[in-house]
Amino acid sequence: MSKPPIRVTVWGEYRHEKKNPKVAALYPGGMHETIAAFLRKQKKLQVQTATLDEPDHGLSQETLKNTDVLVWWGHMAHGEVRQEIVEHAFSRVQEGMGLIALHSAHYSKLFKRLMGTTCSLKWRESTDKERLWNLRPGHPITQGIGDYFEIPMEEMYGEPFGIPEPEELIFISWFTGGEVFRSGATWYRGNGKIFYFRPGHETYPTYHLPLVQKVITNAVFWAHTPTSVLDSCPNVPPLETLPEDPEKNTRPQEGFR
């Protein structure tokens, strides 16, 4: 008996591609379609896409319920994502849906909601080369990645990055201009696994790079968790015999005070 496929939803803001010819040339069907395309090469993944301007941003409750791993890329329109949709996605992460937050998704409502911090950073659009160093050669996310890999030109992100201490720091980036950045990191929230991956500015062909695709593909498999349980706040009976209560609840005891 074979396992069911992992259901992946790749969410793209899909605005830069419509406004900037350079971006459109790099990602003709949108960045989400480029990402979905390389994920679809994995037969164990069942991949769909969703975008901001669809009804419910393409993320209806039904869609989220049937998503095992959500990949998120957004930038110029973070503010247009409805809070209600953010809360549904947040709850699904708590239940066990994985989240891969890409590049400028560091400032998405969903990622900030899960981190509990500002998620601020330094940045510069320029001609920096980025070299990502692999800190965890034995981690599922870095399989097939060597000691490091390079991206010929990328937007720079620099420290301090306003995140909670990661559970696992996977990559640190070196930039030509003199900065460093925690460019791959994991966190748990509820039953869900989260991976933030820095590369992917819209004006560069970053998501066409084989090793970038490899990391994202690995991360999708890593982020898939076995269960879906949303915790609640139940009133429960005791499992062991409790002492009798001589009205202790209603009057403070001398000896207690």
DSSP assigned state of 162: -
Among 4, 19, 43, 253, binds a copy of itself (CB under 8 A): 253
Phi, psi torsion values for 217, nearest 5 degrees: -65, -50
What is the per-residue binding string for a copy of itself in 102-141, x denoting contact by CB under 8 A?
-----x-----xxxxxx-xxxxxxxxxx-x-xxxxxxxx-
Among 64, 85, 204, 213, binds a copy of itself (CB under 8 A): 204
DSSP assigned state of 178: S
Question: Smaller CB distance to a copy of itself: residue 52 or 156?
Answer: 156
Among 40, 78, 189, 214, binds a copy of itself (CB under 8 A): 189
Size of the site for a copy of itself (CB under 8 A): 96
Pairing of strands 180-189, 98-102: unpaired
DSSP assigned state of 196: E
Please state, in angstroms and rounded to a whole number, the distance separating the CA atoms of residues 104 and 124.
13
Q: Does 1 bind a copy of itself (CB under 8 A)?
A: no
Q: Does 146 bind a copy of itself (CB under 8 A)?
A: no
Q: In the complex, what is the shortest distance from the CB of residue 122 to a copy of itself, in angstroms, rounded to a whole number?
A: 5
Please state, in angstroms and rounded to a whole number, the distance separating the CA atoms of residues 61 and 90.
12
Torsion, CA 164, CA 139, CA 10, CA 127, rounded to 10 = 70
Question: Smaller CB distance to a copy of itself: residue 55 or 234?
Answer: 234
Q: In the complex, what is the shortest distance from the CB of residue 233 to a copy of itself, in angstroms, rounded to a whole number?
A: 5
Among 173, 184, 217, 219, binds a copy of itself (CB under 8 A): 173
For residues 171 and 133, is the Cβ–Cβ distance under 8 A? Answer: yes
Q: Does 221 bind a copy of itself (CB under 8 A)?
A: no
Q: Does 250 bind a copy of itself (CB under 8 A)?
A: yes
Q: Does 66 bind a copy of itself (CB under 8 A)?
A: no
Site for a copy of itself in 29-48 (CB under 8 A): none
β-bridge partners, 99: 70, 194
Among 3, 4, 79, 256, binds a copy of itself (CB under 8 A): 256
Phi, psi torsion values for 63, nearest 5 degrees: -65, -45
Radius of gyration in angstroms for the set of CA atoms belonging to the chain, rounded to a whole number: 22
